[in-house]
A and B are shown apart, each in its own frame.
Chain A
Amino acid sequence: MTIDQSLPSQRVSDLIDITAGEISREIFVDEAIHKQELENLFPRAWLFVGHASQVPNPGDYFSSWMGSDPVLLTRDDRGEIYVLLNSCRHRGMKVCRYDEGNTMQFTCPYHAWSYSIDGSLVDVPGDLHGVPHLKSAYQGQLEKAKWGLVRCPRVHNYKGLVFATWDEQAPDFLDYVGDFHWWLDNLADAFDGTEGGTEVFHGVLKWRIKSNWKFVSENFLGDTYHGASTHASVEAVGIGPGGKGKRRHGERQNQGGFSKGRMKTSFRLGHGASDNLDYELPYPEFAEPELTEYFEHAWNKRAEKLRAEGRPLGGRGPATMFPNMSFAAGFPRSILVAHPISPTETEVWRWFLVDKDAPDFVREWLRQYYMRYGGPAGMTEQDDMENWDYATNASRGVVARRYPYNYQQGLDREQPSELDRAVHSDHAIAGEVNARAFYRRWAEYVDNLSQQELTERAQVDERIDRIKERQAKSAAELEGQA
């Protein structure tokens, strides 16, 4: 192990040895590194803020977080979506402490500076509108246009999924996600393939865990290896669509379990998914015939649409969009964000999606399934938190920190992909290729490479070259034997 353990390290990339498949525990517990993440990663990456269906009408808002900063997702009088820093420009008071609501004006409780999202009153929604004693206190000199709520300069509404970044220099959203967008499409499109045909259930699960946020991202990024042990108890019960005793994701019994034909997909840009687009797992069979019928119809309609577009039907995750948005686009269909609080504390938020035009019986079945499956009360996720928390806890010790974690599954066994700058695992369940790519990208951001350098580094995926070299070598060996 060549990782330099002397801290503070100049570069976090020194703590990541993806060639050897070793990553220092420091990146999961160290205060200084956490601060670097907050400074260099979160304000420069595209982050999931909320769903457009949470703010359907003018004046609607939803309180969210981007890294260390509270923000408001708002809709103005013309229907445009904005992301505003939730902190008064005068003394920093959080101008809105409600989780959601409707208002055309945020008035700070401290000194009553007020900010409007009504375009007829201010130039740009979020601008400063009212200031008590404006004339006498500031002799009329206060430049109101300069002191509006800080606006997030880049916001992208992708089929209802609202993302934002603070960095003007960041790449366009579509370049940031690359071919990983197919997974976002499956998340945002309806079960029958209708584009953007989803909304979120009202109610976001929010809970605190004593774990580093990266455990959460990594878990959904492609760690299917944990399922058999971590989720042994829920699988023993069987809480899936098929009824008691049936698999929790709804795989049919003749499909060889959850893994047959599956490969993980790892992007040079850091995103990762537990499956591949050609892994076409049909919707489940339900205990209730009317649900089977509904979802069979949806599957057939989607298959027809996607086949006509030349698009495979797979790509439902679980997956993580770098750095901290995770989701699954099947059973269940849900979004998770791991908000960093400290190196050893994270606030997790979970949203659940449903087709906008789903009939009541489908809506209610999904709601019941989601609640028994996910979140802190969910029979699956409960056991994840136990592992993340106590893994973080037992990695804090002075001696423990001297020993890296092992990320050697599938090392130098990556498989080629037709997707842009992506490779696959060679195993359906094992394989840590996604995590290795995630942490490499993480280190590039945290080491504060410029956006230009970040783009240049990810221009080429040298893993693809190594696959080609390996293939050429084995072809030559075969020829030699012949």
Chain B
Amino acid sequence: MSTLTHEQGKPQLVNESGLSKPQLRELLADVSDFLYREADLLDERRYTEWLELLDDDYRYSVPLRMNVPFADVADNENTKLGAEVCWFDEPKSTVEFRVTQLMTGVHWAEEPVSRVSHLLTNLRLTRVDLPEVEISGRFLVYRNRVSDETDILVGRRRDVLRRAGDDWKVVRRTLLLDQSVLLAKNLSIFI
């Protein structure tokens, strides 16, 4: 599976399943609707229901971004998933740990709870190989907590979804956060 790091130069949809244009449009609408519903569950803190949308081999990855020369962007702009220090690069079991912590009621970083909105845009299919599809987009995650504490996290996101009956499950989520020094004091919410 390619990662976001290597996305440059491959903007075209890889249509392994040979779907027609109308079928692709319908697929994009279906997948988008799924992602918006998933974002709603997160923002409404319905974590138990949200976890059910993640497949067992789910992996959540957010590499660090670094200031590098133009010539080194492809190789060194992000820390390497699977090998180096990232903000997140973890299996579903760790995500479940985080959900358990959020639901303890004594996780002070999110007590009182933050107000969070996940915005998704620029969504497009980048690979269709049913039962899996890969979708690229941009995220804007807004968090406001207590009174004036406000964080805006923006960047690129790539998801791999897998057909599960009538619906989808998330298999892989990789985000490139557009900050090298994190300007939020923590990442106690899911991006």
Q: By the criterion of a CB under 8 Å from any partner CB, how many residues of chain A are at the interface?
A: 43
- How distant is B98 from chain A, measured CB to nearest CB, in Å? 6
Chain A 240-279 near chain B by CB (<8 Å), digits 1 or 0: 0000100000000000000000000000000000000000
Tell me whether A370 and B85 are in contact (CB under 8 A). yes
Is residue B88 within 8 Å, beta carbon to beta carbon, of the partner chain? yes
Q: Annotate B11-38 by CB proximity to A: 1 below 8 A, 0 otherwise.
A: 0000000000000000000000000000
A376–B67 CB distance below 8 A: no
A99, A209, A352, A372: which contacts B185 (Cβ < 8 A)? A209
Q: Is the CB of B85 within 8 A of A201?
A: yes
A-contacting residues, B160-191, CB 8 Å: 180-188
Report the separation of the CA atoms of residues A347 and B180 in the bound assembly, to the nearest whole angstrom.
12
Closest Cβ of chain B to A230, distance in Å, is: 7
Scoring A202, A206, A370, A386 by chain B CB atoms within 10 A of each residue's CB, the highest score goes to: A386
Taking a contact as CB atoms closer than 8 A, the residue among B64, B69, B107 that contacts A98 in the complex is B69
Interface string of B60-91 (1 = CB under 8 A from A): 00111011110010000001101111111110
The answer, among B97, B100, B180, for a CB contact under 8 Å with A372, is B97
Rounded to whole Å, the gap between the CB of A142 and the closest CB of chain B is 28
Min Cβ gap B69→A in Å is 6
Contact A233 B101 (CB under 8 A): yes
- A203, B97: Cβ atoms under 8 Å? no
CB pair B79 A203 closer than 8 Å: yes
Report which of A210, A236, A244, A376 forms a contact with B101, defined as CB distance below 8 A: A236
**Minimum CB distance partner of A347 in chain B:** B181
Query: How far apart are the CA atoms of A249 and B82 in the complex, in Å?
Result: 23
Taking a contact as CB atoms under 8 Å apart, the answer to whether B108 and A230 are in contact is yes
Query: Is residue A17 within 8 Å, beta carbon to beta carbon, of the partner chain?
Result: no
Verify if B109 is at the interface (C-beta below 8 Å from A). yes
Knowing A207-B181, A372-B90 are in contact, say whether A383-B85 is a contact too (CB < 8 A).
no
Q: Please tell me if the beta carbons of B109 and A203 are within 8 angstroms of each other in the complex.
A: no
The answer to whether the Cβ of B104 comes within 8 Å of any Cβ in the partner chain is yes
B97 & A383 in contact (Cβ 8 Å cutoff)? no
B45 CB to closest chain A CB, in angstroms? 15
A1 to chain B, nearest CB (A): 29
From known contacts A202-B84, A386-B109, infer whether A99 and B104 are also in contact, taking CB-CB under 8 Å: no
| Cα(A244)–Cα(B100), bound, Å | 11
User: Are B182's CB and A234's CB within 8 A?
Assistant: no
> B85, A202: Cβ atoms under 8 Å?
yes
Q: Which B residues are in CB contact (< 8 Å) with A383?
A: 107-109
Q: How far is the CB of B74 from chain A (nearest CB, A)?
A: 14
Residues of B near A234 (CB, < 8 A) are: 101, 107
> How far, in whole Å, are A376 and B185 apart by their CA atoms in the complex?
6
With an 8 A cutoff between CB atoms, is B94 at the interface? yes
Give residues 101-151 of B contacting A (CB, 8 Å). 101, 104, 106-109, 146, 149
Residues of B within 8 A of A371 (CB): 85-90
Q: Which of A100, A372, A381 contacts B66 (CB 8 A)?
A: A100
Across the two chains, which residue of chain A brings its CB closest to B98? A379
Q: Using an 8 Å CB-CB cutoff, how does the interface string of A193-227 with B read, 1 for contact, 0 for none?
A: 00000000111111111100000000000000000
B86 x A382 contact (CB < 8 A): no
Interchain CB contact (< 8 A) of B181 among A97, A208, A230, A377 = A208
A368 & B90 in contact (Cβ 8 Å cutoff): yes
Whether the pair B84, A382 counts as a contact (CB closer than 8 A) is no
- Nearest 4 A-B pairs (CB), nearest first? A203-B85, A233-B107, A207-B182, A203-B79
Other contacts beyond A201-B84, A239-B97, A385-B186: 5, CB < 8 A = A99-B67, A203-B79, A233-B106, A371-B85, A386-B186
A-B contact pairs, 7 of them (CB 8 A): A98-B66, A205-B85, A207-B185, A370-B85, A372-B97, A382-B109, A383-B109
A residues contacting B by CB (< 8 A) are 97-101, 201-210, 230, 232-234, 236-237, 239, 244, 347, 352, 364, 367-368, 370-372, 375-377, 379, 381-383, 385-387, 389-390
